[in-house]
Amino acid sequence: MVSIVPNNIQIEDDRTGINVETLKRAFLDNLFYIQAKFPKISTKNDYYMALAYTVRDRLLNRWLQTTQTYLEKAPRTVAYLSAEFLMGPHLGNNLMNLGLYNVVKQAMEEFGLGLTDLLEQEEEPGLGNGGLGRLAACYIDSLATLEIPAIGYGIRYEYGIFDQEIKNGWQVEITDKWLRYGNPWEVPRPEAELEVKFGGHTENYTDEHGRYHVQWIPFKVVKGVPYDTPILGFQTNNANTLRLWKAEAPESFDFEAFNKGDYFGSVQEKSECENITKVLYPNDDSYQGKQLRLEQQFFFVSCSLQDMIRMMKAQNLTLERFHEHFAIQLNDTHPTIAVAELMRLLLDEHQFDWDKAWNITTKTFAYTNHTLLPEALERWSINMFGSSFPRHLQIIYEINLRFLDEVRIKFPDDGNRLRRMSIIDESGERYIRMAHLACVGSFAINGVAELHSELLKKTTLHDFYEMYPEKFTNVTNGVTPRRFMVLSNPRLANLITKKIGDSWVTNLDELRKLETFLYDSDFCKEFHQVKQDVKQDLANYIRTNYNITIDPNSLFDIQAKRIHEYKRQHLNALYIITLYNRIKANPNLDVTPRTFLFGGKAAPGYYMAKLIIKLINSIADVVNHDPDMRDRLKVIFLKDYNVKFAQRVYPAADLSEQISTAGKEASGTGNMKFSMNGALTIGTLDGANIEIREVVGEENFFLFGLTAEEVLQKKAAGYNPWDYYNSNPELKLAIDRISSGFFSHGDPNLFKPLLDSLLYRDQYLLLADYQSYIECQDRVSQAYRDREQWIRMSILNVARIGKFSSDRSIRDYVQNIWKVSALKVEVPEYSQSTN
Ligand code: 4GP
């Protein structure tokens, strides 16, 4: 076999060398030969690009070596199918993983360039909405770090999640043109393109052996072109691949139409094909039954499965062993059409019989559920589905027929159960229930936190749990400490490393050692100083970008996540108004100064969420300009919350708001990132909050609110929000302030829809939880005054958070679901980094 890396490459080669001089030379070389610029006319972006290519070069031998090793050894491989990958900027992460951060920083400094400045330049690939997409990114990081052979498969959206601007207090969406200046991290692979079919009809035929087959005659065919991004693990040589698919027209023009003079018709067809991967649907925890969305899902799933089959063929592996070679994880139901597509490929294109194909399929897939919210459970109308995927509809009918027979055997004479469990919802207009297809077609089903997995078994997927109890398991989410501690909070990371060495970065449980220093006053001082410095950084940022001065000595109280009624940003807002009212009533009140910071995007079509943003901004307007507040209260809505910005925000928090209605937040992952950075949590017994509280200790967590069970009981007993309004004067005053038009220049109607929803329905029980929340918030204010105790609580949050590393989650998946093994990749000596 020819060596992957040419043998004549030397240590000092410009594409691999890692000392300052070589890096500088390589940087100038890239500036000249790739950006076609010289320093005098270079923009900051040119410098960023030149540096990105310099770093990418140093990744490539690891990446290619990984590919070669995987090719030779043909290990069992995880295929992580996700419609979203919210990766965040690559440059800093790659520098950290390669161990090149400091040497590159120095090289840039010698050119008079600031590395931080260059890092800022990167447009982040916003190919996800929030939790689910960012989780996929953390998992891809951990897979590489743990040296697990894996591929991430997804969609290369031309426009990712919109950029958010705030105009007059309202959210305004701006197209995210993240590819405008090129993407140095991806490598297009047009030679590996595949075809994906859509629409049309099916025909039956009999082959020469008298066997019956179905052929799908599509209406259109679209090309899928893979774009590959290397994902390097932390200080490993394993660089896995993130393979994102772009849709293209099969021919650039329909020449027949063109020759007939239908120029626009032929161009239109091209753009219709390309539309499939044009834009990410900006909805989180909900879905829109749009045909294009379904087509996106099928498109990337079909490309990915065909790609896997092609790889097996290239390795001379038989498809009979598909399930031994690949473990495919379905990240929510978005890729679930894969169950039907793998069946189709095996049946129609590779001539397997049904039983064999079904056996392979059901040993291949595992399904993760991310939400219990009914509005987020995907279902596709039969008509729409059948018009795009006539063959898959047949296959799904057949799967359903056989599945219902099984149900009948296990639960005879239970017609209601059959109706409830059927993959086809026949209660009105007929729909395909994708979660049901996922449960039937997978060998494992998991929720993302203990409570969530329990609730799945008890409620949403209860029938499936009774049918297949052995399939159900829990994998509590985790997040990568590389990006969310080492990269985003270097001050804290350095302090920790100084105390306990650096093995915590890949073994987060090691943080426990910090408990030894709990009463070491020097350490506590340093720990506190780190927090103050980081808060000062954020304060500077806010002053520069918002022209608002905030006091780093005030308590930084942060709620950063998608805006959603169940996440209850408006409960937080009610507390702010309560504090405001108290100070207005008693201007000399002794309050703990607080800065309330919010960040998060609302789905563009989610009116109530947008109104919540407007409410927060309107409160900020009044509070920040009221001299009575005397800097004791500040409110800021930080626009365009994304991964890059999140990295600034988590480290600066004193208090993390995790206040969803119990039973609604599947897990949460922001809660983990805040706690890892020493914020204390104020939260309900929801999602992973419960497990966080368990490990950090209940005395280091501010708990309030109803439990999931109490929420259900309250609703069952006939919940009436007016009872709370009428009996709680502070709550009444807060709500009346809003309804009087006090925050809306006298307009009593602006926030009426929000207030009506609270007073007449209050689906998420804000009013029921209000008193408990404000009492808890008052305890927080009190606790913050005891600085030493607060610091200790904060240290304990960091020290005990080890469980929530995504490395632990991935180990759980590896051992309990995927059954894959690590495979170490070796690279030549010269490219090993030194720092
Ligand atoms: C989110 C859940 O809302 C969140 O609780 C969870 O931590 C995250 O997935 C990852 O598991 N769901 C979504 C979504 O982002 O789009 O459904």
Cα of 371 vs centre of ligand 1, distance in Å, is 6
> How many whole angstroms separate alpha carbon 213 and alpha carbon 728?
70
The terminus-to-terminus CA distance of the chain in angstroms comes to 32
Tell me the three state secondary structure of residue 445: strand
Residue 5 has pLDDT above 90, yes or no: no
Q: Does the active-site annotation cover 669? A: yes
Cα of 135 vs centre of ligand 1, distance in Å, is 8
Cα of 663 vs centre of ligand 1, distance in Å, is 13
Write the ipTM: 0.98
> How many whole angstroms separate alpha carbon 808 and alpha carbon 691?
14
User: Three-class SS string for 336-384?
Assistant: CCHHHHHHHHHHHHCCCCHHHHHHHHHCCEEEECCCCCHHHCCEEEHHH
- For 74-88+124-371+441-448+818-831, the fitting CATH number among 3.40.50.2000, 3.40.50.720, 3.40.140.10, 3.30.830.10 is 3.40.50.2000
- Going by CA atoms, what residue is nearest to atom 7 of ligand 1? 668
Closest atom, ligand 1, to C-alpha of 135: 10
* pLDDT (0 to 100) of residue 834: 44
Q: Does the active-site annotation cover 732? A: no
> How many whole angstroms separate alpha carbon 629 and alpha carbon 188?
56
Please choose from 334, 371, 450 the residue to mutate so as to test ligand 1's pocket, defined by most ligand atoms within 8 A of CB: 371
Q: Is 210 left (phi over 0), alpha (psi -120 to 50) or beta?
A: left
* pLDDT (tens digit per residue) in 648-664: 999 999 999 999 999 99
Residue 3 has pLDDT above 70, yes or no: no
Name the strand (E) or helix (H) holding 226.
Answer: strand 220-232
- Going by CA atoms, what residue is nearest to atom 4 of ligand 1? 668
Tell me the three state secondary structure of residue 411: coil
Please choose from 129, 161, 667 the residue to mutate so as to test ligand 1's pocket, defined by most ligand atoms within 8 A of CB: 667
Pairing of strands 187-188, 220-232: antiparallel
Residue 9 has pLDDT above 60, yes or no: no
Closest atom, ligand 1, to C-alpha of 284: 16
Please choose from 330, 369, 370, 480 the residue to mutate so as to test ligand 1's pocket, defined by most ligand atoms within 8 A of CB: 370
* pLDDT (0 to 100) of residue 90: 98
> How many whole angstroms separate alpha carbon 238 and alpha carbon 825?
6
Cα of 694 vs centre of ligand 1, distance in Å, is 21
Comparing CA positions, the residue from 61, 67, 142 lying closest to residue 480 is 142
> How many whole angstroms separate alpha carbon 704 and alpha carbon 713?
17
Cα of 132 vs centre of ligand 1, distance in Å, is 5
Residues found in the chain: 835
Cα of 477 vs centre of ligand 1, distance in Å, is 10
pLDDT band at 254 (very low <50, low <70, confident <90, very high): low
- Going by CA atoms, what residue is nearest to atom 8 of ligand 1? 131
Comparing CA positions, the residue from 71, 80, 150 lying closest to residue 314 is 71
Torsion of CA 415, 416, 419, 420, to 10 degrees: -150
CA distances from 593 to 168, 280, 421, 493, 785 (A): 27, 40, 54, 28, 10
Residue 1 has pLDDT above 50, yes or no: no
* pLDDT (0 to 100) of residue 533: 98
The alpha-helical segments, DSSP class H, found in 677-765 are 689-696, 708-716, 721-727, 729-739, 752-756
Torsion of CA 35, 36, 40, 43, to 10 degrees: -30
> How many whole angstroms separate alpha carbon 814 and alpha carbon 830?
32
> How many whole angstroms separate alpha carbon 687 and alpha carbon 697?
16
Which residue's structure tokens are 């690009």?
A: 49
Tell me the three state secondary structure of residue 382: helix
Q: Would you say 206 and 213 are in contact if contact means Cβ atoms under 8 Å apart?
A: yes
Closest atom, ligand 1, to C-alpha of 452: 5
* pLDDT (tens digit per residue) in 292-340: 999 999 999 999 999 999 999 999 999 999 999 999 999 999 999 999 9
Comparing CA positions, the residue from 810, 799, 803 lying closest to residue 136 is 810
- What is the residue-wise DSSP string for 34-76? TS---GGG--HHHHHHHHHHHHHHHHHHHHHHHHHHHHHH---
Tell me the three state secondary structure of residue 271: helix
Q: Would you say 663 and 708 are in contact if contact means Cβ atoms under 8 Å apart?
A: yes
- Report residue 30: phi and psi, to 5°: -70, -40
What type of residue is 202? Answer: T
Cα of 285 vs centre of ligand 1, distance in Å, is 7
Q: Would you say 615 and 568 are in contact if contact means Cβ atoms under 8 Å apart?
A: no
Cα of 701 vs centre of ligand 1, distance in Å, is 22
Given the residues 22, 54, 236, 669, select the one marked as catalytic. 669
Closest atom, ligand 1, to C-alpha of 283: 16
> How many whole angstroms separate alpha carbon 474 and alpha carbon 654?
30
* pLDDT (tens digit per residue) in 776-792: 999 999 999 999 999 99
Given the residues 370, 482, 535, 564, select the one marked as catalytic. 370
Residue 831 has pLDDT above 90, yes or no: no
User: Three-class SS string for 611-657?
Assistant: HHHHHHHHHHHHHHCCHHHCCCEEEEEECCCCHHHHHHHHHHCCEEE
* pLDDT (tens digit per residue) in 15-46: 888 999 999 999 999 999 999 999 999 999 99
Given the residues 471, 561, 632, 644, select the one marked as catalytic. 561
Residue 444 has pLDDT above 90, yes or no: yes
**Exposed e or buried b for every residue in 754-764, given b needs 16+ CB within 10 A?**
bbebbbeebeb
pLDDT band at 399 (very low <50, low <70, confident <90, very high): very high
Number of alpha carbons in the 13 Å side-chain half-sphere of residue 740: 7
- Environment class of residue 149 by beta-carbon count within 10 Å: exposed (0-12), middle (13-18) or buried (19+)? buried
Could you give the angle at the alpha carbon of 45 between the alpha carbons of 40 and 50, nearest 5°?
A: 80
Please choose from 82, 129, 140, 285 the residue to mutate so as to test ligand 1's pocket, defined by most ligand atoms within 8 A of CB: 285
Cα of 591 vs centre of ligand 1, distance in Å, is 35
Cα of 77 vs centre of ligand 1, distance in Å, is 25
Closest atom, ligand 1, to C-alpha of 666: 5
Given the residues 436, 482, 567, 634, select the one marked as catalytic. 567
Q: Extract the tokens encoding 25.
A: 């030379």
Domain residue limits, the chain: 1-72+90-123, 74-88+124-371+441-448+818-831, 481-707+768-802
* % of the chain with per-residue pLDDT over 70: 96
> How many whole angstroms separate alpha carbon 482 and alpha carbon 309?
33
Q: Extract the tokens encoding 452.
A: 């969530």
Given the residues 562, 634, 639, 644, select the one marked as catalytic. 562
> How many whole angstroms separate alpha carbon 591 and alpha carbon 500?
38
> How many whole angstroms separate alpha carbon 152 and alpha carbon 805?
19
The answer to whether 74-88+124-371+441-448+818-831 and 481-707+768-802 have equal CATH topology is yes
Q: Does the active-site annotation cover 202? A: no
Cross-strand partners of 240: 231
* pLDDT (0 to 100) of residue 246: 98
| Ligand 1 pocket, residues with Cβ under 6 angstroms | 129-132, 135, 284-285, 370-371, 376, 448, 477, 665-669, 687
- Going by CA atoms, what residue is nearest to atom 14 of ligand 1? 285
- What is the residue-wise DSSP string for 91-102? HHHHHHHHT-HH
Classify domain 481-707+768-802 at the CATH superfamily level.
Glycogen Phosphorylase B; (3.40.50.2000)
Long-range contacts of 308-311 (CB under 8 A, 24+ apart): 308/79, 309/345, 309/350, 310/192, 310/194
Closest atom, ligand 1, to C-alpha of 130: 15
* pLDDT (0 to 100) of residue 272: 83
The alpha-helical segments, DSSP class H, found in 462-520 are 462-467, 481, 490-500
> How many whole angstroms separate alpha carbon 339 and alpha carbon 326?
14
Q: Extract the tokens encoding 461.
A: 């997927």
Comparing CA positions, the residue from 143, 102, 112, 139 lying closest to residue 47 is 112
> How many whole angstroms separate alpha carbon 20 and alpha carbon 103?
6
Cα of 668 vs centre of ligand 1, distance in Å, is 7
Tell me the three state secondary structure of residue 623: helix
Cα of 304 vs centre of ligand 1, distance in Å, is 23
Task: Give me the chain's average pLDDT, please.
Answer: 95
Q: Does the active-site annotation cover 630? A: no
Q: Does the active-site annotation cover 673? A: yes
DSSP assignment letter at 85: E
Number of alpha carbons in the 13 Å side-chain half-sphere of residue 125: 25
Residue 154 has pLDDT above 50, yes or no: yes
Cα of 171 vs centre of ligand 1, distance in Å, is 22
> How many whole angstroms separate alpha carbon 152 and alpha carbon 614?
37
Closest atom, ligand 1, to C-alpha of 668: 7
> How many whole angstroms separate alpha carbon 549 and alpha carbon 287?
39
Calculate helix-pair angle for 569-585, 607-624, nearest 10 degrees: 20
> How many whole angstroms separate alpha carbon 283 and alpha carbon 375?
11
Comparing CA positions, the residue from 626, 542, 506, 535 lying closest to residue 577 is 626
- Report residue 502: phi and psi, to 5°: -105, 10
Residue range 400-427: mean pLDDT, rounded: 98
* pLDDT (0 to 100) of residue 835: 41
Q: Does the active-site annotation cover 356? A: no
Closest atom, ligand 1, to C-alpha of 665: 5
Closest atom, ligand 1, to C-alpha of 134: 10
* pLDDT (tens digit per residue) in 225-242: 999 999 999 999 999 999
* pLDDT (0 to 100) of residue 267: 73
- Environment class of residue 164 by beta-carbon count within 10 Å: exposed (0-12), middle (13-18) or buried (19+)? buried
Cα of 562 vs centre of ligand 1, distance in Å, is 10
* % of the chain with per-residue pLDDT over 90: 91
Q: Would you say 46 and 31 are in contact if contact means Cβ atoms under 8 Å apart?
A: yes
* pLDDT (tens digit per residue) in 593-621: 999 999 999 999 999 999 999 999 999 99
Q: Would you say 680 and 793 are in contact if contact means Cβ atoms under 8 Å apart?
A: yes
> How many whole angstroms separate alpha carbon 833 and alpha carbon 98?
7
Closest atom, ligand 1, to C-alpha of 332: 17
pLDDT band at 286 (very low <50, low <70, confident <90, very high): confident
